[in-house]
């Protein structure tokens, strides 16, 4: 955490090839200069393995930065999660991002945990206060939630189970974030909710991600990006303006920090960071 109490963090995914690992090292060398509060590493998304997550976190820690593995519980047993927690603890890791995750299509066995609040409760029961536990939050509502109100109830369950802070799904509509933060305040949920920030590198990839995770691309942004067609330079320039303005407005109004979904690329995140003067 910085002297002003704000958190600026980066997210990576574990590469699956030696070349990907090498490229990520170069990305991290560039981004380390920004002195992030911590770097988190995804697990499960895109078929990544626990070994890949741990190996990447250990490299990050070896470079002098705090590394936080994501841990997901769907499809897992209590014993399996217990072993993972022990392993992380034995390496001195003290920060986790605790998630339910998603079952790969075709899988039916949900395992011994149904929701992330059960995972958070298990982490606390097994390891007390050893870990700082972040959880996911959805300002635009998780796609499987029946209503935003029920999604907020479910978020409250994760806080009650012992989450210390939250990172949001990315969004481009700051009002959704503030409405969620206000609703948390009304419920007395006193944890920092850090906005997740997705730099815009490509319209097709962004549209695909957004359809899958339920993040809305506002019409004016979608139409402008579509209008640029294959013009990557214009997409990048427009995306940088949009995302920097979003970050600036969030920080100006008091957001507790920013968490960047880097997609293992340094350029856009470091440009936004520098433009914000962080």
Q: Does residue 132 bind ligand FAD (CB under 6 A)?
A: no
Count, in order, helices (H) and strands (E) of the chain: 10, 8
From the list 25-33, 112-120, 247-255, 262-270, the region that binds ligand FAD by CB under 6 A is 112-120
Nearer to ligand FAD, 28 or 236 (CB): 28
Q: Does residue 167 bind ligand FAD (CB under 6 A)?
A: yes
**Please, are residues 42 and 13 in contact by the beta-carbon 8 Å criterion?**
yes
| Minimum gap (Å) between residue 122 Cβ and ligand FAD | 13
Backbone angles phi, psi at 273, to 5 degrees: -55, -45
**Please, are residues 192 and 165 in contact by the beta-carbon 8 Å criterion?**
yes
Query: Directed axis angle between helix 18-32 and helix 50-62, to 10°?
Result: 40
Q: Compute CA distances 106 → 18, 72, 73, 103, 197, whole Å.
A: 30, 18, 17, 8, 31
Looking at 9, 27, 56, 72, which residue binds ligand FAD (CB under 6 A)? 72
Does 118 participate in catalysis according to the annotation? Answer: no
Looking at 145, 156, 174, 276, which residue binds ligand FAD (CB under 6 A)? 145
Looking at 82, 124, 157, 222, which residue binds ligand FAD (CB under 6 A)? 157
CA–CA gap between residue 33 and residue 126 (Å, rounded):
36
Nearer to ligand FAD, 234 or 265 (CB): 265
Q: Does residue 95 bind ligand FAD (CB under 6 A)?
A: no
Q: Does residue 136 bind ligand FAD (CB under 6 A)?
A: yes
Q: Which of 267, 199, 275, 271 is nearest to 23 (CA)?
A: 267
From the list 18-26, 28-36, 38-46, 219-227, the region that binds ligand FAD by CB under 6 A is 38-46
CA–CA gap between residue 116 and residue 268 (Å, rounded):
31
| Minimum gap (Å) between residue 171 Cβ and ligand FAD | 10
Q: Which of 238, 244, 237, 233 is nearest to 275 (CA)?
A: 244
DSSP lists the bridge partners of residue 7 as 257
Q: Does residue 67 bind ligand FAD (CB under 6 A)?
A: no
| Minimum gap (Å) between residue 97 Cβ and ligand FAD | 6
DSSP lists the bridge partners of residue 170 as 196
Q: Does residue 100 bind ligand FAD (CB under 6 A)?
A: yes
Q: Does residue 70 bind ligand FAD (CB under 6 A)?
A: yes
Q: Does residue 42 bind ligand FAD (CB under 6 A)?
A: yes
CA–CA gap between residue 78 and residue 9 (Å, rounded):
29
From the list 16-24, 81-89, 144-152, 264-272, the region that binds ligand FAD by CB under 6 A is 144-152
Q: Does residue 144 bind ligand FAD (CB under 6 A)?
A: yes
19 class by beta-carbon count within 10 Å (0-12 exposed, 13-18 middle, 19+ buried) = exposed
Hey, which residues between 185 and 244 contact ligand FAD (CB under 6 A)? Answer: 196
CA–CA gap between residue 218 and residue 107 (Å, rounded):
33
- By the criterion CB under 6 A, which residues form the site for ligand FAD? 42-45, 70, 72, 97, 99-102, 115-117, 136, 142, 144-145, 150-151, 154, 157-158, 167, 169, 196
């Amino acid at each position: 955490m910085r002297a002003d109490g704000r958190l600026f963090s980066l997210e990576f995914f574990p590469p699956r090839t030696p070349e990907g690992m090498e490229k990520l090292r170069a990305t991290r060398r560039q981004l380390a200069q920004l002195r992030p509060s911590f770097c988190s590493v995804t697990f499960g998304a895109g078929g990544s393995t626990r070994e890949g997550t741990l190996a990447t976190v250990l490299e990050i820690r070896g470079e002098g930065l705090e590394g936080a593995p994501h841990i997901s519980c769907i499809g897992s047993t209590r014993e399996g999660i217990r072993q993972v927690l022990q392993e992380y603890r034995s390496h001195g890791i003290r920060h986790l991002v605790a998630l339910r995750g998603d079952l790969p299509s075709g899988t039916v066995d949900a395992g011994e945990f149904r929701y992330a609040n059960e995972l958070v409760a298990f982490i606390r029961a097994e390891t007390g206060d050893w870990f700082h536990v972040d959880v996911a939050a959805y300002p635009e509502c998780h796609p499987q939630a029946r209503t935003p109100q029920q999604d907020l109830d479910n978020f409250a369950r994760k806080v009650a189970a012992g989450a210390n802070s939250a990172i949001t799904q990315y969004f481009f509509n700051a009002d959704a974030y503030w409405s969620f933060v206000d609703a948390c305040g009304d419920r007395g949920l006193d944890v920092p909710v850090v906005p997740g920030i997705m730099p815009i590198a490509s319209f097709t990839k962004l549209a695909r991600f957004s359809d899958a995770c339920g993040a809305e691309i506002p019409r004016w942004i979608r139409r402008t990006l579509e209008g640029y067609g294959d013009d990557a330079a214009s997409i990048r320039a427009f995306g940088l303006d949009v995302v920097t303005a979003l970050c600036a407005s969030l920080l100006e109004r008091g957001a507790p920090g920013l968490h960047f979904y880097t997609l293992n690329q340094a350029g856009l995140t470091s440009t936004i960071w520098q433009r914000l003067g962080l």
